[in-house]
Amino acid sequence: MLEVFPQLAGKRIDFQWSGMIGIGANRLPQIGRLQAHPNVFYAQAYAGHGINTTHMAARLVAQAISLEQSNGFELFSRVPHMTFPGGKHLRSPLLALGMLWYRLKEIAGH
């Protein structure tokens, strides 16, 4: 962190967030509606960029719900989304392994 923000040297970190984030395979937000239930809309998988993209996604979903013209909603809703490699049985172990890998790299300073 100090390589990016050297001015933080000697500063204390009081709070941190270490929760899970939603990431799609293509790193794009997933915005659309369920095919089986077209009155159910979703906006998810912001790949750690939720602060800025949630506002855009909320506007696009609101426009779609209110039947307002929204080319952005239609554009995002047509993006195909892959399922996680390994299926439901390997999803959690592979996710944990990937998180461990990046944590170890962080600890090692890489």
Do 38 and 64 belong to one domain?
A: yes
Do 45 and 67 belong to one domain?
A: yes
Tell which residue, 54, 70, 64, 67, has the closest CA to residue 34: 64
Backbone angles phi, psi at 70, to 5 degrees: -145, 90
Contact 48, 23 (CB under 8 A): yes
Do 55 and 74 belong to one domain?
A: yes
Render pLDDT for 64-79 as a digit per residue (tens, 0 to 9).
999 888 788 988 899 8
**Residue 90: domain span:** 84-110
Cα 17 from Cα 23, distance rounded (Å): 16
- pTM score of the predicted model: 0.61
Does residue 4 belong to any structural domain of this protein? no
Do 21 and 70 belong to one domain?
A: yes
Render pLDDT for 28-62 as a digit per residue (tens, 0 to 9).
899 999 999 999 999 998 888 888 889 999 999 99
Do 45 and 90 belong to one domain?
A: no
Total domains, the chain? 2
Does residue 9 belong to any structural domain of this protein? no
Per-residue confidence (pLDDT) for residue 1, from 0 to 100: 81
Does residue 100 belong to any structural domain of this protein? yes
- The answer for residues whose C-beta is within 8 angstroms of residue 57's C-beta and 6 or more apart is 29, 31, 43, 46, 76
Render pLDDT for 86-103 as a digit per residue (tens, 0 to 9).
778 888 888 889 889 988
